[in-house]
Structure 1
Amino acid sequence: MAAYIRTLTRIATRVSTRSTVTFARQAPAAMVARQYHAFRPTQIASKKKHAAIMDEDDEELEAELRELEREKREQEALERGETLDGSAADGTEDDNNNRFQEQYDILLEKTAPSSPQHELPRHSALLHLASAISTPEQAQSIPQLVQQWRRRELPISVLLSDKLIKAVCKAGSPETALVLLGDRETYALAPGQGTMRRVVRSFVKEVAAAPESSESEEGLEKLDGAFKAMALIPYYNLAADDSSVYANLIRGSLIYGSEEGLRRASVTMDEYLLIDGERETPLTRRRAAEVVAAAEQLVKAYEAKGDADKASELNKHVDQWKKSI
């Protein structure tokens, strides 16, 4: 009996003694996940629209903002033909093509469906790639990348949309801009009013560069592209009464020439006159000057055709618009 009591006493003493075993504290799941984050967007529903938000710590957000600012300065330097240190960029055409292709291949690989979530590229990577577009062939490869980009739920801002459209138009491929803007479900761009004006102007430049022939199919296709770009403006809930767009369409139609060009210019002007009569705010000096220049060209076309009545009627509106200049 005494032995049994001593055994119970030893057991009780052992249990009451503080254990010397140190248990490893488990790291929170958020800390583990943060090691693999790639600034992934979190989709939230707000008024039936999805908005991309960042859920990283303040320090990480500040680092991302600094990176965006650095790349913005680099892009501005590239547009001036310089590097960040102020020296001239002396890369050859082959070097520029290789630089674009290298960046493009990396982004295409990282946004592939099989790519791990933690390897997704920074949101600024596509903006950086846009500054490297220099040929129509490069511009035509952008839709495939943007499609993958959106499938991985990476965001495209108004700024990025404008930079992409500007880059492909500057590279001589406004048709690519129509592809990107014509399918909101696939590419989900967010263009501004200035972006749409840029596309229309790019097509008008292409009309002017087309072979000089009254029956030029290439010129007519470019002119059709300008009108298609105009038709997309209400698609993005932008101002459909943009005087600059109408002025460029009239100018492009007259550049194309022939009976078809004059017909399109006349119909476009008639439509603009209806819109202008309902305008509540006057045109700015710059917009009024654009409309006046296009209208004066159309007046000359009417006079050359011998249509004095239309020329006289349009001149009345020209005199009114000149008061805003």
Structure 2
Amino acid sequence: MASYIRTLTRLAFRASRPSTAFMTRQAPAAMMTRQYHAFRPTQIVSKGKKHAISDEDDEELEAELQELEKEKREQEALERGETQEGDKDSSDEQSSEFQELYDSLLDRTSPSKKRHELPRHTTLFHLIQKISTAEQAQQLPPLVKQWRRKDLPITIFLSDKLIHAVCKAGSPETALELLGDREAYALTPGQSTMRRVVRSFVKDIAAGEKESEEALEKLDGAFRTLALIPYYNLAADDVSVYANLVRGSLLYGGEEGLRRASATMDEYLLIDGEREKPLTRKKAAEIVAAAELLSKEYEAKEQTDKAKELEKHVEVWRKSL
């Protein structure tokens, strides 16, 4: 700090001396202010440029300013390290909080508990907010089953939050399990909930290895989610779901991936032919992107007739963009 003050003092002394070119003129106040501001450590660090130093001939001044910059960077690096450690501690604490609340809810919803011993309805929502890992998400089905057996409510809002948290934690299989047994879990998902599950499966396929057993299981999960949509009296002609299924099939790759993508698109074309209203801009963009990927695969396999036929539909969908 002392070296920084000495630096500013020396600069002020130099700036206050008459110019050698114009002996009668002094530096304007605004220029002086900007000059001092440029030498603040925060400004030096943010710019990261040596030309912030106006007197390049003063090696001592440059060395002092570089030392200040170095100290600032070291301090920031230290703070970042503390933040990372703090994030880790916070994550461990959150995991511990989840487990404590989970164990408490599992105990308080057990068959032996009386009505007056049941937890508040909002506690399940608080638990959902603490889900951060796939392992935590996989613990939920037994709890949700007990929760429903005690006739505790799960609203549409809570169903969506539950499935969202499970998918975000990286366990769409758990989401499919919760949605697949309506009698045991009695969720009430919305249209966006089903889309989210399909997208989560497709995301995992994209991150995995092509034509692997794991990727095939993920793809099967996405198609099973499609099959559940009418089960909940939701719209079966969801453009986003079909587009993601086509994309997921192509991401899986191989002959099986192309077969599924082609069959999915053919089914969607039958639905689209009965559509009375044009697609929205967002939905049109999704199906066009999926169709273009499929068309490229057709061309790569020299199935030009299918590619041309699909292109006709793409031209119609593009009008909604």
Aligned pairs (5 A) from 1:274-289: 274-289=270-285
What does residue 144 of structure 2 align with? Answer: 146
Secondary structure of the corresponding residue to residue 176 of structure 2: helix
In structure 2, C-alpha distance between the alignment counterparts of 1:153 and 1:116, rounded to whole Å: 12
In structure 2, C-alpha distance between the alignment counterparts of 1:233 and 1:253, rounded to whole Å: 19
How far does residue 229 in structure 1 lie from its aligned partner after superposition?
Answer: 0.4
In structure 2, C-alpha distance between the alignment counterparts of 1:209 and 1:89, rounded to whole Å: 25
In structure 2, C-alpha distance between the alignment counterparts of 1:193 and 1:307, rounded to whole Å: 34
How far does residue 92 in structure 1 lie from its aligned partner after superposition?
Answer: 3.0
Secondary structure of the corresponding residue to residue 92 of structure 1: helix
Deviation track 1:94-135 (CA, whole Å, cap 9, x = no partner) reads: 212101001101111111111221121111111111111111
What does residue 300 of structure 1 align with? Answer: 296
| Structure 1 residue identity aligned to 2:291 | A
The structure 1 segments of at least 4 consecutive aligned residues displaced by more than 4 Å after TM superposition are 88-91
Structure 1 position 207 matched with structure 2 position 205: yes
In structure 2, C-alpha distance between the alignment counterparts of 1:217 and 1:248, rounded to whole Å: 20
What does residue 268 of structure 1 align with? Answer: 264
In structure 2, C-alpha distance between the alignment counterparts of 1:89 and 1:110, rounded to whole Å: 31
What does residue 177 of structure 2 align with? Answer: 179
In structure 1, C-alpha distance between the alignment counterparts of 2:115 and 2:269, rounded to whole Å: 53
Structure 1 position 94 matched with structure 2 position 78: no
Residue of 305, 309, 312 corresponding to 1:309: 305
How far does residue 90 in structure 1 lie from its aligned partner after superposition?
Answer: 7.3
State percent identity of aligned pairs: 70
Which structure 2 residue ranges, 5 or more long, are not aligned? 1-85
Aligned pairs (5 A) from 1:1-325: 91-211=89-209, 213-214=210-211, 216-325=212-321
The number of residue pairs the alignment matches comes to 236
| Structure 2 residue identity aligned to 1:116 | K
Q: TM-score of the superposition, structure 2-length normalised?
A: 0.72
Deviation track 1:154-202 (CA, whole Å, cap 9, x = no partner) reads: 0000000000100111111100011100011100000000000000000
How far does residue 93 in structure 1 lie from its aligned partner after superposition?
Answer: 2.6
Which structure has the highest helix share of the two? 2
Which structure 1 residue ranges, 5 or more long, are not aligned? 1-87
